[in-house]
């Protein structure tokens, strides 16, 4: 399970980036129309995301990080490490795989299907929670 720690670190980095973007957004709440044009969403969608930050998509976080001049290496690490994570998870025992799926609500084949998709922040947080518990339970 130590082989999952680098991916867990990448998820932690992404979570930190997401929180930094949300703090910057909070300071810019009055500029919702600018944010609309920046990420390509309607005003109502932006307002919904202000109320429920888990609705933000990873690519939207990346666009906002670029706008606020925050480093986006965590974004790149997340996507570049996904294929490796799937390979590692396929190598664990069936009971650990089921445990992981229960903890984060994602099956490994769903991770494979989502490689090319834009993930929601809630998906990333669930994945992080599941990996954290899997690593902690194996120690």
pLDDT at residue 75 in the model? 82
Residue 20: both structure tokens together: 């930094």
pLDDT at residue 107 in the model? 79
How far from the centroid of its chain's Cα atoms is residue 3's Cα? 19
pLDDT at residue 105 in the model? 82
Q: List helix spans (H) across 68-105.
A: 73-90, 94-104
Residue that is written with structure tokens 């998709």 in the block: 117
State the pTM of this model: 0.82
pLDDT at residue 45 in the model? 93
pLDDT at residue 44 in the model? 92
- Report the C-alpha gap between 108 and 94 in whole angstroms: 11
pLDDT at residue 103 in the model? 83
Q: Other C-beta atoms within 10 Å of 32: how many?
A: 16
Domain ranges (residues) in the chain: 1-138
Stretches where the chain sits below pLDDT 50 are: none
């Amino acid at each position: 399970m130590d082989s999952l720690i680098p991916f867990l670190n990448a998820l932690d980095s992404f979570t930190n980036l997401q929180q930094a973007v949300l703090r910057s957004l909070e300071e810019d709440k009055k500029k919702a129309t600018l944010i609309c044009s920046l990420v390509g969403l309607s005003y109502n969608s932006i307002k919904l995301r202000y109320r429920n930050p888990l609705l933000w998509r990873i690519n939207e976080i990346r666009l906002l990080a670029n706008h606020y001049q925050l480093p986006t290496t965590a974004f790149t690490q997340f996507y570049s490490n996904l294929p490796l994570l799937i390979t590692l998870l396929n190598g664990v025992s069936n009971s650990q795989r089921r445990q992981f799926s229960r903890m984060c609500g994602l099956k490994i084949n769903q991770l494979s299907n989502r490689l090319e998709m834009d993930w929601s922040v809630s998906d990333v947080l669930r994945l992080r929670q599941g990996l954290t518990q899997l690593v902690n339970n194996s120690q």
